[in-house]
Structure 1
Amino acid sequence: MTLNIARWSVRHPWRSLGVWMLLVVAAVALGAGISMKTTTDADYRTGQSGTAARWIDEAGLRAPDSEYVVVTDAAGGPVTGAARSAADALGARLARDPHVRAVAPPVVAPDRTSVLVAATMKQVADDATPDISGLEKAVTQAQERAPGLRFVQTGDTSLNTAINDRVAGDLGAAETISLPITLALMLLVFAALIAAGIPVLLAITSVFATMGLMGPISLIVPMEPTVTSMILLIGMAVGVDYSLFYLKRERQERQRGRGTIDAVEIAAATSGHSIVVSGFAVAVSMVGLYVVGDATFNSLATGALLVVVIAVFGSLTVLPALLSLLGHTVDRPRIPLLWRVSARMQPGAISRRLLGPAMRRPVVALVAGVVVLVGLAAPAVGMKLQTSSLESLPQDLPAVQAMQQISRSYPGDGPTAEVVLRGDDAAALRQRAKVVEGKAVSTGHWKRVADATRQSADGRTLVLTLGSTAAEGSFAAGDAVQQLRSDVLPRAIPDREWAVGGGVASSYDQMEQQSAGLPRVLVFVLGLTLVMMAVTFRSVLIALLTTALNLLSLGAAFGVITLVFQHDWAQSLLHFNSTGGIISWIPIFLFVVLMGLSMDYHVFVLSRVREHVRAGIPPRLAVRQGVQETAGVVTSAAVVMISVFALFATLSMIEMKEMGVGLSVAIALDATVVRLIVLPSALALLGRTAWWPARSTPTAEQHQVTPAPPPLTPTR
């Protein structure tokens, strides 16, 4: 199939390029005409907290958003009458804002470190964001009038806005830096400007086309706002990888004396086939995200799946067309010094230093490689999962600092849970709510809050708000929610409908959903990958070996992020505050991304080894030659990925750091320990048995490509 596609593209290069440009332009036009529909709060509802949220909406009891202003002394001392007067004046100004429903009297903290001004916003429809621009303007003016005080705004909307702005800024900076880094690395690999630009150009156009198609697709699957970063991350990784595989093989064949067309066809039949298998492997991994049933994972899976399909299509059509048109010009203009170094360097010149000992003593090499990977994976046994919380957010954000101060200094404010009670007797519901509140507070995990209950107009639904003594997303808060559901409520109201929701319970349910989803994703992705490898290489042992190697490299990545982020020894190095756990969505995300990306290298290396085995070369020599011939490409692709992923470790969000470190470490281990030590030594020990039950006797059709005859010229 790949050979036939390449031959059509070579015969009709301009038509092939035209189809690609039409696809990209049409996709971008669709994206410009149809705005991407983003996820709403309702899309994230899960478990019992999701039920509670639905009941609250049905009863019209949804609490409006709140905004807070924390007033402190600029020098850090206790607040005085001046701070109270300034807070009173600010409260009066906020009360006149048309988007504010009510402003509570300013409250001085018991420790006299601050004054709190709390504003309740008017309800907005359809999950819209309240307009807080008037509040922000009032706070800015209050700060100008009282330079000796410090005014910081925080709350439902302002905190989310601050976080989203920080994430967008971080990702934008990473994306901007990643493109020149990728281009520079391609220049080092190819030592020629045109050859270096082709992988970057193909990857970027694949990303643009995918982002454009997200608009119409989001009408069916609402998209997480960060999906564009996921598309860029995966699109650049696979787009550059696939082009590297193709261009390197085509260049190798030309250096062996083949003509341009023959070289393109051989690359299509070999590297093109590897690209299809690799793309299918990435797609299988991304489909595994749907198993979790999470809105964020659904949108990320959709974006990643689409960009991989488009990148594969572009690699199979655009590359043959470009290479046939450019011919030897693809290696122009050359970078003089780099070109001379590249020309003199033999394939596998560096990799043979690791590969040589592994092939001479495969048992020792295999044991040593496995011990290293298992040792790195050991800390993953103690991995603890938790959701994002105030402690995991960037601590330099004023809105985060203010919210933390509110939690510490004001006993009635901070994270809460909402107990929703339903029944036919309104008075009985109120009585039951008092019983639940008393029993919950007696556990020591919950505290009373002002205006704790609100009841629907028909009296059939009541919401009891409980303040949490633990931070939202913490292990203690999760234990408190579990105790409330399994012990306190069943004993207090056994014969009533109830559900525990609110921020604290929602974070707990989200973590539980993702923790329960990880085993399902593992079984789904590993099972399909095992079948795919068995079918592709006609070998049960190759499929089993692939699964084992993937698990080893993934385990090592999980162990490293556990060691780095669950403890505090790397805090100053990576500039983060350890929360004692790993953000719950990280393991699932790392698993599917790494499974897909590592298969790129795995399939590419195994395909080249199988070529030599089918050509009749002894298995151990076939392994040596196959690994040496592909080591340069694998290393180049790995360096590009590591450079891009490492940028995420420099971002301010801790989950981005966990993702960057996990991906970088896993790719580095996969390209070195796995591909140059463990895989070759395992294949050397297995010998021909590795390819059982596939035929080991080659045929001419299996390892040679017969050039297509030239098109007939019509005669008059």
Structure 2
Amino acid sequence: MSSALYRLGSWAFRARRTVVALWLVLLVVLGASAGLLQKGFDNSVSIPGTESQAALDQLKATFPQVSGASAQVLVLAPEGADVRADDVAATVRDAADAIADVEHVAAVSTPYIDPLTGDDLSGDAITGGSDDHRAALLTVTLDGPSTTVTDETKEELRAATAALAEALPDGWDATLGGELFASEFPGLTLTEALGVVVALVVLMLTLGSFVAAGMPLLNAILGVAVSMLLVVLSTAFTPVTSTTPMLALMLGLAVGIDYALFIVSRYRELLSEGLDPQEAAARSVATSGSAVVFAGLTVMIALVGLGVAGIPFLTTMGIAGAAAVGISVVVSLTMVPALLGFAGERLRPRPSRRARRAAAAGKAPAPSTTPTRASRFFAGWVNLAVAKPWVTIVVVLGAVVGLALPALNLRLALPDAGVLPESSSARVTYERISDHYGPGSNGPLIITGSVLTSDDPLGLAADLADEMRALPGVADVPLATPNESADTVIVQVVPESGPNDEETAELVQTIRDMRPELQERYDVDISVTGYTAVGIDVSAKLGAALLPFGIFVVGLSLVLLTMVFRSVAVPLKATLGYLLSVLAAFGVVTLVFEDGFAAEMLNVGRLGPVISFMPIILMGVLFGLAMDYEVFLVSRIREDYVHGRDARAAIRSGFAGSAKVVTAAAVIMIAVFFAFVPEGDVNIKPIALGLAVGVAVDAFLVRMTLVPAVLELLGDRAWWMPAWLDRALPSFDVEGEGLHRELSLAGWPGEGTAVAARGLELAPKADVATPIDLEVPERGVLVVDGPARAVTGLLLTLAGRVRPEGGDLKVDDLVLPERAATVRRRAAWLDARRGDARAVDAALREQPRVLVVDHAHHLHGNSHAGAALAAAAQQGTTLVLGTTAPDVLPPGVASTHLLTLPKGE
């Protein structure tokens, strides 16, 4: 990977104008497509496989009058007035008629009209008013779900409500709310921009240049623009909630800035070592870019893993977030080196004052041993962390556990109008209904069942209503009726508790537990549905998905980190640290949104349960971010350890080399996430706060404090890994060791050499103990003879099919094993025991740069095969032939180089 990224970075640096032009063209195309094809956001919540969803779908066919979205208009009288007054009743009836004429309105029920006869009611005959006779509630039923209701219909409902309020006597009021208006579309505010401002300040302090600081911001803005347009465009093909683009924006900004920061900071570091700009850009993309790819992939996999919950809107959010992260990775790997190409030498760090004075005097400056203020700070940090590692571990664990304890009281629910801003008409209506009708009136339940076998549907509906009234926790049963075809009955149940209260969830479960009893007594199979039941089922399904998702994320973490660090202890420690960060984030979110700590300062409108999908999204996103810091910090420590430092000394040197950038990246992440808290959408608020807290805990307490202490305790044991596991797992070279090796071998061998080996050690199965040295020119013919196992082992190694154990090996100027995939494409392999001249022809038709033929003696005497091989050598193909003896080659083929392998011991 590092080699491929090296070439990509070098190309993007050279072709910078082309890269920028391509991204701009893509933006224009996506913008035009999104504008023409987008269908708007869809805030419906579908939860396949749940009782409430199945019952709701059934009602759409059998009882459409009650299956559509609903709105509520509340008429409120001043203190001392009575909603039963005749003039008020007439005014409300006129308003109800006006509302009934609005498009998509199926029915309007008011306390002033008999629901069965349609006759006007007056005086004491009025039903449905509040007990204090100060409130009257109009319920507006629409002909479809909220997603089909147009903005024009909503505006007409608002206008009709405003006209009603105007027509009422002085001091009276009418407000509009209900399910249709229970959620608002999130939008950007200036507060979110503060995160970008903080990011710019941190970037300038870290990179020391306005030009360098602007690159990560420009990179992030481009990535966010592309991902947001893709989200909008995707509405043409699939339902997308309005929260989805906000999540993509938040993630795209954060990771886009951080990923570019890692590359730009490494670029400036390489410039300070004297490299020219193009080489520095290529190497920075190869090294930091490898870590960026790894970090981005982990976030993307975790976000796509949100699909394990089986909830479509959550799956869509995960895919959109993963796409935003993926785009940020691609932009960082292409746009950043292109921008570096435009900046050129301007980003080279200025020499110190001492170096400038020495240069002016014509002397070579003495190396400075004076550490910078930042390096002294981080050196003190790591020295404090590792001085008494057991103390550090206990203190950090105690602090994190203290933050996590409130999470024991974490409750989850879908948000309703009660969490909207206090100025919202829907919020006002919600609270007035709670005050005058009881909190359960904001979330009535619908009990439905098929009554095809009943000869008295009305009586059955009444019996079911009586059963519901007898249950504890039921405030009222205002409606119990069959549909027009008398095949389905509904019973509306108003709980005593609010939609998000635990008591309401318990009531729903109680009613569902009654199903066998009601089936036996009335021969009816009931289901519980409605807006409130749907929310309860969403929360339950998400809660059930947390454990499998957690196992998925933890398992993924262990596998990926083991691949990267070639260690057992480091992945276990990293995964435990991630879990600690998640629990701390849950605890702080509970402390703020349920217990009320700092709620007013953070503009939390109402205390109560946290949005249901907060835990699973936070776990997915924080997993990727935690892996970011683990990789960028620990990979530098491992790099120093691998290059010969003592394990404990490598902790200090590696920490000093990465802590500044990790700190800057974490501060930027925290700023971007926290900026979505004060004025953010109610769905995003707890997620944003949880991510900000999670990043802070993970970066500063876990990765930069707990990790050094644990590594100090483990010493060399931190990097132990069983040999069998090392062989079984693929290598993910995030430190760019492969690239460093390629660069070190760039001058070896000379031009025109096709195959070169120096001190080459084969895998043990080849049974060759002696290191091998050889050089074969282009168009040459290397003949290898000796024991069959040894010959085959060497040929498989030269063809890139088997990994060498040691030494240096190049085939077609490609270093092995680092470039094995490319070598396999350029070097054809043929086992002559299983082929003849036709197999030789087939292999040569691929025009390989190198043709490796094992057991070539099986072609002995085949003149056609010999002629084909000789012609291929003349045309530029290098031949590597394995045989039992050099004198049994195909006719016309003569070796230019002969290697005889010794027999094994």
Q: TM-score, normalised by structure 2?
A: 0.71
Structure 1 residue 176 displacement after superposition: 3.8
CA contact (8 A) 1:159 1:399 kept: yes
> Aligned partners of 1:633, 1:521: CA distance in 2, in Å?
31
**Which of 179, 195, 200 is the matching residue for 1:183?**
200
Q: Shift of residue 83 of structure 1?
A: 7.3
TM alignment of 1:371-382, pairs within 5 A: 371-382=398-409
1:476 Cα deviation from its structure 2 partner:
0.4
CA 1:112–1:440 in structure 2 vs 1: closer, same or farther (change >3 Å)? closer
Shift of 1:637: 1.3
Deviations 1:394-430 (A, max 9, x none): 4443322222322442379542111221143243554
- How far did residue 123 of structure 1 move? 2.2
> What corresponds to 1:364 in structure 2?
391
Aligned residue in 2 for 1:490: 516
Which residue of 89, 92, 96 corresponds with 2:91? 89
**Match among 214, 217, 223 for residue 197 of structure 1:** 214
Whole-angstrom distance in 1 between the partners of 2:649 and 2:178: 64
Is 1:211 the counterpart of 2:231? The answer is no
1:244 aligned to 2:248? no
The match for 2:496 is: 469
Counterpart-to-counterpart distance in 2, 1:650 and 1:449: 40
What is the distance in 1 between the residues matched to 2:413 and 2:269?
49
Q: 1:40 to 1:251 in 2, by over 3 A?
A: closer
User: What residue number does 1:672 align with?
Assistant: 700
> Do the aligned residues in 2 keep the contact of 1:14 with 1:321 (CA within 8 Å)?
yes
Deviations 1:272-304, CA, capped at 9 Å, x for gaps:
111011011111211221111123311211111
Secondary structure at the aligned position of 1:349 is classed as helix
1:298 to 315, 318, 325: 315
User: Would the aligned equivalents of 2:295 and 2:628 in 1 still touch at CA under 8 Å?
Assistant: yes
CA shift in 2, pair 1:147/1:621, >3 Å: farther
Confirm or deny: 8 A CA contact 1:447 1:467 kept in the other structure.
yes
Supply the AA of the counterpart residue of 2:80.
P
- Distance in 1 separating the partners of 2:398 and 2:129: 56
2:568–2:721: 8 Å Cα contact kept in structure 1?
yes
Q: 1:652 to 1:153 in 2, by over 3 A?
A: farther
For 1:393-542, what aligned pairs fall within 5 Å after superposition?
Answer: 393-410=420-437, 413-457=441-485, 459-486=486-513, 488-494=514-520, 495-542=523-570
Q: In structure 2, what is the equivalent of residue 287 of structure 1?
A: 304
- Report how far residue 585 of structure 1 moved: 1.8
Distance in 2, Cα, partners of 1:104 & 1:124: 20
**In the superposition, relative to structure 1, how do residues 46 and 408 fare at CA in structure 2: closer, same or farther (>3 Å)?**
farther
Alignment partner, residue 850 of structure 2:
none
Contact 1:394–1:653 at 8 Å: present in 2 too?
Answer: no
Shift of 1:367: 2.5
Change (3 A) 1:138 1:58: closer
Amino acid paired to 1:436: L
Pairwise CA RMSD of aligned residues? 3.2
1:265 match: secondary structure:
helix
CA shift, 1:146, in A, is 5.6
One-letter identity of the residue aligned with 1:420: T
- Does residue 1:385 correspond to 2:409, yes or no? no
Assess if the C-alpha contact under 8 Å between 1:250 and 1:263 holds in 2: yes
- Are the aligned partners of 2:63 and 2:488 in contact in 1 as well (CA < 8 Å)? no
Partner of residue 312 from structure 1, selected from 324, 329, 344: 329
Match of 2:75 in 1: 71
2:691 is matched with: 663
Query: In 2, Cα distance between the equivalents of 1:429 and 1:623?
Result: 77
Match of 2:176, SS state, is strand
Residue 731 of structure 2 corresponds to none
AA at the equivalent of 2:24: M
Q: Give the 3 Å change call, closer, same or farther, for CA 150–615 of structure 1 in structure 2.
A: farther
Distance 1:521 1:591 in 2: 9
1:79-118 CA-to-partner distances (Å, cap 9, x unmatched) read: 2589763453243144135225445255684454633251
Query: Which structure exhibits the higher relative contact order, with contacts defined as CA atoms closer than 8 Å and separated by 6 or more residues?
Result: 1
Distance 1:599 1:221, change over 3 A: farther
| Comparing 496-505 and 466-475, the one that deviates more | 496-505
Q: How big is the shift at 1:263? A: 2.0
State the partner residue of 1:149: 171
Does structure 2 retain, via aligned residues, the 8 Å contact 1:423–1:461? Answer: yes
Size of the aligned set, in residue pairs, is 693
Aligned CA distance change for structure 1 residues 364 and 569 (closer, same or farther; 3 Å): closer
Match of 1:164 in 2: 184
Partner residue, 1:337: none
Q: Which residue of 1 aligns with 2:149?
A: 129
CA-CA distance at 1:354 after TM superposition: 1.8
Flag the 1:85–1:652 CA change in 2: closer, same or farther, 3 A: farther
AA in 1 matched with 2:140: T
Q: Secondary structure at the match of 1:96?
A: helix
Structure 2: distance between partners of 1:402 and 1:527: 47
SS in 2 for 1:499: strand
Deviation of 1:480 (Å): 0.2
Deviations 1:585-610 (A, max 9, x none): 21112111111112111111122112
Task: Give the direction of change, closer, same or farther, for the CA distance of 1:490–1:173 in structure 2 (3 Å limit).
Answer: farther
What residue in structure 2 maps to residue 340 of structure 1? none
**Once the two structures are aligned, what percentage of the paired residues are identical?**
27
Any idea what SS the aligned residue of 1:670 has? helix
Amino acid at match of 1:644: V
Pairing 1:620–2:657 present: no
Q: Mean alpha-carbon deviation: is it higher for 307-316 or for 686-695?
A: 686-695
Q: 1:589 to 1:42 in 2, by over 3 A?
A: closer
Q: Is the 8 A contact 1:286 1:304 kept in 2?
A: yes
Report Cα offsets for 1:361-407 as digits up to 9, x if no partner. Answer: 22322232222222322332343333324544444433222223224
Cα 1:584/1:226, change in 2 over 3 Å: closer
Which TM-score applies when normalising by structure 1? 0.88
Contact 1:638 1:671 in 2 (8 A): yes
CA contact (8 A) 1:386 1:473 kept: yes
C-alpha displacement of 1:157: 6.0
Range with bigger deviation, 402-411 or 619-628 = 402-411
- Displacement, 1:214? 2.3
Long gaps (5+) in structure 2: 113-125, 352-369, 727-734, 752-905
Among 662, 666, 674, the residue aligned to 1:638? 666
Match for residue 610 of structure 2 among 576, 582, 600: 582
Counterpart amino acid of 2:263? Y
- Alignment match of 2:20 (pick from 7, 14, 17): 17
Matched, 1:706 2:712: no
Instruction: Name the SS for the 2:537 alignment partner.
Output: helix
Name the SS for the 1:632 alignment partner: helix
**1:118 to 2:146 alignment:** no
CA contact (8 A) 2:405 2:587 kept: yes
| Inter-partner Cα distance in structure 1 for 2:524 and 2:50 | 18
User: Which residue pairs with 2:624 in the alignment?
Assistant: 596
**Whole-angstrom distance in 1 between the partners of 2:294 and 2:426:** 47
What is the CA distance between 1:652 and its match in structure 2?
Answer: 6.5
* Structure-2 separation of matches of 1:599 and 1:57: 46
Q: Report the CA distance between 1:491 and its aligned residue.
A: 0.9
Preserved contact between residue 470 and residue 476 of structure 1 (Cα < 8 Å): yes
Shift of the 677–328 alpha-carbon distance from structure 1 to 2, 3 Å rule, reads same
- Give the Cα separation in 1 of the matches to 2:213 and 2:410: 41
CA distance in 1, matches of 2:674, 2:172: 37
**How far has the Cα of 1:626 moved from its partner?**
1.3
